[in-house]
Each structure stands twice: as structure tokens, then as C-alpha cells.
Structure 1
Amino acid sequence: MKKAQSGDTVLVHYTGTLADGQLFDSSAGRDPLSFQLGSGQVIKGFDDGVTGMEVGDKKTIEIPCLEAYGPVNDELLINFDRSQFPDDIPLETGITLNMHQEGTGQVVPVVIKEVAESFVILDANHPLAGQDLTFELELVGIN
């Protein structure tokens, strides 16, 4: 039987959990994830975990944060003067806002990390930065 290798387009069902068992994503009830192995479409650890699997194989992989979304980057914690926010934007810890990157205009999601009387700290790290991830995988197709 064919083993999944770099360049193959694969179909994978998955369930992703954090170290404490909290579910963060799953393909359950949806179409399987389709991506090309070795193309950089998914995080390195996920790509590596699927490589070598055969259709019908199931396995659990653990991906350290360095092979996932990396460590939390303190340079992506941005301190803003609270007066820079319009009054109609709710400033509550945990809320996701969209910022526009200077120069490119690219939209960057940020999470409100801290709200104080005079400042607001926004976190532009990926929500899974600093997290080790576990995935239950099932390879359902190779094209």
C-alpha cells in the first residue's frame, strides 16, 4: 500500500488537543483536511506526523511548540494608550480585535491581553503559540 510522501495531496481527519486535554480543533463532522505534504500548508510537526502513513492508518502525534506555532514572542505584545481606542470598541480581556498592519494593510487578529486605566496590551501571537499540541490522526486518502 502507498505511504504518504512529500508532494502527495492527503486527506486527514484529526482532533487537536492541548497538554491539559482541552480540545482546540477537530475535523469531526466536517470534510477531512486536504493539503499537500511538504508544501508548508500546515505546521511542520503535523506534516511530519502524516508522512509515511498509509490510508486507514490512525495514530497520535505530540508536537512540541517549536514544531507548531513557536514560543510566545514578547515583541508581539503591544502596549497602546487607552485613548487610542474608539469608545464603541469593548475593551475586555480575551476579546479578539483586528488590526491593520502598517504599510501592507494586512489584517492581523490580536487578543486583548490586559486592560488598565491608561493602557491596553494586545497580543498578536498565534493563539496556540507556546503550546505543545497533540493530534489524533486518521489518513483517509492520498491523491
Structure 2
Amino acid sequence: MTTIAQDSAVTLHFTIKLKDGSVADSTHNMGKPAKLVIGDGSLSENFEQCLVGLSSGDNKAIELKAEDAFGMPNPDNVHHMDRAKFVGDAEVEVGTIMAFSGRDGMEIPGIITEIAGDSVTVDFNHPLAGQDVTFEVEILSVE
């Protein structure tokens, strides 16, 4: 039985729960598991350390502080944009999540947090930034 170590390729299902027990995200909802390589930077170091030593078939609930999960909100990720930039059918209202093109051409989601006159405030922080979460992981395979 292979256990998770540095550079392991891991296939897993995960469910992210908030403090109140509500589910914020789950690979079960997407219908397919996540794949990652330990050490590739897609997870925080502390989170990876919690996975090391697990093997296929293991289930574990990992409680993560905000800084080890999605980080703390970064004020530099909050942008003020001209309302004229929002054209088309998309309705601009507080709470709307819209996709914006990042510098590298990748789409990044932003949440509209405030509208004042012609200024629209968009927050590009991860929606779960600043929140302590519990990851429930189910390890499917380790290579």
C-alpha cells in the first residue's frame, strides 16, 4: 500500500465545511475527484503535512486555520472599477460574482462588494479567505 509522501500523485475527494457546518465546496458535487501532486504548491504546506502518511481508502477531517486554507484577505486584491466597464446583459449588483481576465489571460472570479455612483468595488480575494475551514478528505489513490 502506497502512502502519501513528497511528490506523490494523489487522487482524492474532498468536502470543505465552514465553522457552521455548511458545505462550501465539494468534489462530490462536481462528480469527479481532485488530483494533485504533493509539493506542487497547490496546497499550503500545513495542509500537505496533514495528508502525508495517508493511503488509499483513508478518510480524514482536517481542520485548517484561515492562513493555512485560503489565506487572509489581501487589501491589494480589492479594486475600484469604472461602472462603464460593465456593459452587456450582466446586471451589476452587490454580491454578483463575475469572471475577469487576469494579466496572464486566466479568468479570475471577483465579487462585487460595493457600488457608489460610477465606481464599482470588486474583491478578488478567494470567497473563503479569512475563514477557518474543515477539509474532509477521502483518499482514492496514491501513485
TM-score of the aligned structures, taking structure 1 as reference length = 0.84
User: Residues of 2 paired with 1:32 and 1:80: CA distance?
Assistant: 36
The gaps in structure 1 that reach 5 residues or longer are: none
Look up the match of 1:69: 70
Structure 1 residue 46, shift from structure 2 partner: 3.4
| Cα distance, 1:88 vs structure 2 | 4.0
TM-score, scaled relative to structure 2: 0.84
**What percent of counterpart residues are identical?**
33
Q: How many residues align?
A: 142
Q: Which residue of 2 aligns with 1:46?
A: 47
- Structure 1 distance, partners of 2:7, 2:60, is 21
Distance 1:141 1:88 in 2: 44
Gaps of 5+ in 2: none
2:38 corresponding residue in structure 1: 37
Relative to structure 1, is the Cα distance of residues 119 and 9 closer, same or farther in structure 2, using a 3 angstrom cutoff? same
Matching residue of 1:60? 61
Match of 2:119 in 1: 119
Cross-structure match for 1:9: 9
Following TM superposition, the consecutive aligned residue runs of length 4 or more in structure 1 with deviations greater than 4 angstroms are: none
Higher deviation after alignment, 83-92 or 111-120 = 83-92
Separation of aligned partners in 2, 1:133 and 1:122:
24
Shift of 1:87: 6.1
| Cα RMSD after superposing both structures | 2.2
